[in-house]
A and B are shown apart, each in its own frame.
Chain A
Amino acid sequence: MAEPLLRVDDLNISFHGGRSVTHAVRGVSFDIDREKVGIVGESGSGKSQTGRALLRLTPKGARITAKALSFDGIDLLAASEPDMRKIRGKRISMILQDPKFSLNPLMRVGQQIVEAYRVHTPSSKAEARDKAMAMLEAVNIRNPRRVFELLPHEVSGGMGQRIMIAMMLILEPDLIIADEPTSALDVTVRRQVLTILDELVTRRGAGLMFISHDLNMVADFCDRVLVMYAGRIVEDIPARDLKHAEHPYTRALLDSLPRLDRPVDMLTVPKRDPAWLTSPTIRRASA
């Protein structure tokens, strides 16, 4: 069997602060090939830290260990900082939650996309500008010439996120990590952004790691879902099989959401079972 694009084996991330040690991620293992994989969990589940560890963007006090952390044959654990810089943005890129905080507020958005391009690819200013314009069109921005000259505070949330996507995908990376990319957006805009992301990812044949707290959205959008709880993956299941999920935590997450099509009087509140902290991952292979 061909080596998957991303292989993570027994990833552990811990924070050593003063007297206490926090194990944010404990023994997480999964593969991502050219598919859309969703990582779902509540706050404190370790999902964001997992994504950041791949690009070594974890906070200073973090200690990362793993049996294997490889991307397209490159050992991400052993890579030097200059190597990581070459990977970040060009081979693996990351889309963050709120464009208000991830775009440079003082630089015009078009210029930011151009910069992102020229950092990794030697090209003339005119070439890069054309590429940026093409990217803005690819994310369905109707008037790219006008938007190119705007500052981040002048664009709406949905448009900002699409610009973020343009910036992150202009170098055609092989793996995209999206950390809650639609959580800060309105419902009607979410659909648009997800559609664009879907299109670009599928067209390029890239892999997508979609981190979110919204189980239903991830299940609809992704091919596979990894459910995280307290730093571990409790269930690894194809998205379409989610209704047959076996792990009690996954079931509890599904049942505790209010639903329009199944009204209940009282919502089920997940009862945390300490066994979940150590039980093995329930994996179900994709068909």
Chain B
Amino acid sequence: MMPSQTLGKDRILEAVGLHVSFGTGLTSTVAVDDVSFTIARGEAYGLIGESGCGKSTILRTIAGLVDSYDGALLFGNKELPGKRDKDFFRKVQMVFQDPYGSLHPRKMVESVLAEPLAIHKFDNPRQRIDAVLEAVGLGPSFRFRYPHELSGGQRQRVAIARALVIEPEVLLLDEPTSALDVSVQAEILNLLKTLRRETGVTYFMVSHDIAVITHLCDRIAVMADGRIIEEMTAADVRAGRAREPYTRTFLEASTGYVTAS
């Protein structure tokens, strides 16, 4: 795999020879096989592939949700310890795929947002909660709602607010719009773009939809069977400049139905 060039920019997240397997002995499966990539501060990096290719596993491994892995993960040029510490979680947060499962059913929005602030000992929780709710387009009137009173799009906004309230440097996005309707997806994608512009946060996004990922990300890596097949820029993808045959097949299959309008 060719190491990616980040044009000398500040590297915020890096993987070197990442290897993740599940199970032991005869039943062990390799989910991530010798994956390396570099993400620069402030950029939006996308990972695309079909189901089972290992993209979500990579995200979860970075987040510390996977028990053991081989290879190295570096954050801010420092290797991450096996067990992630509090400081890491202050700087790296995640938005999950299913808006109906990512919020605690019994907790109000206020409580969901106040908790990370309390754990990381932020001051002025009230103002911060109001501010982040405004930033995600909901407003302070949503403070006392429960998840079952909210639509899918609203829940996803709360999930984004929860991730952003402690002002992280990196946001891991696990297919954030794949469970949403087309019109709601458009809202959330616009919101994500705006937030990145306003706060300069780095995005690491995983998706199976090439149009979505190209819309949001600067650089895109294509994965299959646990390996990164090819890394391209958004412009490359739009121009169809795929080098590997797998990438070509994948792009063709994804764009086969765009002839509508």
Contact = CB atoms under 8 A, between A and B. Distances in A.
Interface of A: 42-43, 157, 186-188, 190-191, 213-217, 219-221, 239, 242-243, 245, 252-254, 256-261, 263-270
A257 B257 contact: no
B68 interface: no
Contacts of A252: 183
B258 A259 contact: yes
Contacts of B237: 260
B183 A216 contact: no
A258 B257 contact: no
A114 B208 CA distance: 36
Contact of A268 (B181, B186, B258): B186
B7 interface: no
By DSSP majority rule, is chain B's interface helix, strand, loop, or mixed?
helix
B215 A263 contact: yes
B261 A186 contact: no
A256 B182 CA distance: 7
Nearest to B235: A263
Of all A-B residue pairs in the complex, the 3 with the closest CB atoms, nearest first, are A258-B215, A243-B261, A219-B260
A188 B249 contact: yes
Contacts of B182: 42, 213, 215, 253, 256-257
Interface stretch (B28-36, B108-116, B187-195): B187-195
Contacts of A261: 238, 258
B261 to A, nearest CB: 4
A187 B208 contact: yes
Given A188-B50, A216-B258, A243-B261, A260 B210 contact: yes
A219 B257 contact: yes
A54 B59 CA distance: 44
Contact of B261 (A221, A254, A260, A264): A254
B50 A187 contact: yes
Nearest to B238: A260
A43 B186 CA distance: 15
With most chain A CB atoms within 10 A of its CB, the pick from B214, B255, B256 is: B256
Contacts of B190: 266-267, 269
Given A263-B238, A266-B190, A269-B187, A243 B258 contact: no
